[in-house]
Amino acid sequence: MKTVLVTFAARPEEARALLAAARALADEPPLWWELTDDSCAEGYLAPLAGRAQAQGAEALLFPAGKAGLSAAAQLAARLGLPILTELTALTKDRAARAAYNANLTAWFALPARFVATVTVSAFAPAGGELPAAEAVGPQAEPWNELVERLPPAEDPLALAGAERVVACGKGAALKKNLPVYAELAQLLGAELGGTRPTAIDGDLPHSRLIGISGTLLHPKLCLALGASGAQAFAAGVQKSKLLIGVNNDPTAPLFRLCHAGVVADAAEFARALCDLLREQGNG
């Protein structure tokens, strides 16, 4: 199967994860097309579609996420191909993704040709030499005009690469207690993330979502505050080297995942830990 990795400029870690997925999918070395930026997916439709048709691409793999999904979905529509999203495993003839609110892993047969987004953190980055990247720039079309370019509010990959993470669930009452959790993250040198309900409620941006439909973490420390431990969230934190859970419900599924657990109110625990860390910092 002729496979193509499609990434954005200056993101080699995504390319290595896609390369691992491509190696599981086919023996033939993949091509690598690197988009010069991720600001306007529509500008890449014509150049990508032209290359895919000219070179007989059978599988086009994009990194999952807002920019990758936007580009992949529009390219699939342009080429008339099926799109598969948020893949977490691949073989030569099958693919897997989470189903039923991440309570199941669904395996299904691959079509002959397809476009897919791949959950980057689900694949161990491939070693060895990356294929030579072919830079692909946007192409203006009559219906598409770039009016203004704004810098991203934050690094979209900050959470994925964090060594320490403070993960807040619905029970943390994030909107009410955001300052204390933000301070705790700062004192720990950690990134702040949350469960799906916190993203749905708008307490945190989607880039801060932890779980099967967000970022799958592998930090040295993850402090989970007020999370129930639902399967979708569990998939995002289960590879933490040290997972500490805090919940006021002693029967919460979270405690079955943790290396250490504390039965306490999440906000009260966070305030007390902030006080302790400030005292140590001043000592």
Decide if 142 is inside a domain.
no
Decide if 276 is inside a domain.
yes
Examine the domain organization and report whether 122 and 168 are in the same domain.
no
* Residue closest to 266 by CA, chosen among 251, 281, 244: 244
Q: How many domains does one find in the chain?
A: 2
Examine the domain organization and report whether 187 and 101 are in the same domain.
no
Q: How far is CA 93 from CA 59, 99, 118, in A?
A: 12, 19, 16
DSSP string, 138-204: ---BTTB--------SS-TTTTTT-SEEEEE-GGG-HHHHHHHHHHHHHHHT-EEEE-HHHHHTTSS
Residue ending a domain, among 118, 136, 154, is: 136
Examine the domain organization and report whether 91 and 187 are in the same domain.
no
- At 44-92, the pLDDT tens digits run 888 999 999 999 999 999 998 778 888 999 999 999 999 999 999 999 9
- At 117-169, the pLDDT tens digits run 998 878 888 888 888 888 888 876 666 666 776 665 666 567 878 899 999 99
Q: Which domain holds residue 44?
A: 3-136
Examine the domain organization and report whether 100 and 192 are in the same domain.
no
Handedness of CA 159, 164, 168, 173 (dihedral sign): negative
230: burial class by Cβ within 10 Å (0-12, 13-18, 19+)?
A: buried
For residue 102, is pLDDT > 70?
no
The CATH code of the domain that includes 237 is 3.40.50.1220
Examine the domain organization and report whether 116 and 172 are in the same domain.
no
**What region, left, alpha or beta, does residue 166 occupy, with left being phi > 0 and alpha being psi -120 to 50 degrees?**
beta
For residue 97, is pLDDT > 80?
yes
The CATH code of the domain that includes 65 is 3.40.50.620
pLDDT confidence of residue 155: 62
Rounded CA separation 190/176 (Å): 20
Examine the domain organization and report whether 127 and 211 are in the same domain.
no
pLDDT confidence of residue 283: 45
Q: Helices marked H in 37-143 — which ranges?
A: 45-54, 66-79
Examine the domain organization and report whether 72 and 112 are in the same domain.
yes
